[in-house]
Chains A and B, each alone.
Chain A
Amino acid sequence: DGGITQSPKYLFRKEGQNVTLSCEQNLNHDAMYWYRQDPGQGLRLIYYSQIVNDFQKGDIAEGYSVSREKKESFPLTVTSAQKNPTAFYLCASSRETGVTGELFFGEGSRLTVL
């Protein structure tokens, strides 16, 4: 069953702790993305990666870090430097190579920092 899987679905952390959100896809897609969704603010781009071992900052990259060591995996670390980390995080991938195409989203991870 092909798709994009995010884990965990819900996560609670204390302030000051780093946390890593997992994103795995078995669709053989080259491009992967991380978005943050807050009420009334839509989807804001955190980081994106067009190819293994390469990634670019989006509009709100401060306080986040990513890695792309494997084509199928694009984990996001929310660091203690992120001032307001409580949010819903969506990972996506795109099958198009060299062009911008349809995004396939995971089910999301809801992070709550206490």
Chain B
Amino acid sequence: GENVEQHPSTLSVQEGDSAVIKCTYSDSASNYFPWYKQELGKRPQLIIDIRSNVGEKKDQRIAVTLNKTAKHFSLHITETQPEDSAVYFCAASLYSSASKIIFGSGTRLSIRP
């Protein structure tokens, strides 16, 4: 079955700098890669997702890149702000069959003022 590895487990960046979180997946059939953000004490929420027919997707300060050959994808947050502090989870799934979604172990991002 699918296995998703996520790095780093913790990340601290200066406010205004960029943050990058990386994930690798094992099942070459996976073609849907969402990212979820979980603020302290709150439920996870989808922030961006990408399907394997594109290599990059951007939404304001966040972007996701996908390398299907290498089976890895990354989340990029630019101009970080205090409200970006949270735990971020990557995930992988097969888009076409409403199948199970497998998550990475999470990255705790802290933004230093």
Contacts and interface: CB of A to CB of B under 8 A. Distances in A.
Contact of B49 (A41, A48, A59, A102): A102
Contact of B102 (A41, A45, A96, A107): A45
B103 A33 contact: no
Contacts of A66: none
Interface residues of B, number: 27
Given A42-B6, A105-B45, A100 B103 contact: no
A33 B105 contact: no
A101 to B, nearest CB: 8
Most central of B34, B43, B45, B99 by chain A CB within 10 Å? B43
Contacts of A28: none
Interface residues of A, number: 29
Contacts of B99: 100
A42 B100 contact: no
A92 B49 CA distance: 17
Interface in B23-55: 32, 34, 36, 42-46, 49
B93 interface: yes
Given A59-B1, A100-B93, A50 B98 contact: yes
A100 B95 contact: yes
Interface of B: 1, 6, 9, 32, 34, 36, 42-46, 49, 89, 93-106
Interface of A: 30-31, 33, 35, 40-45, 48, 50, 56, 58-59, 90, 94, 96-103, 105-108
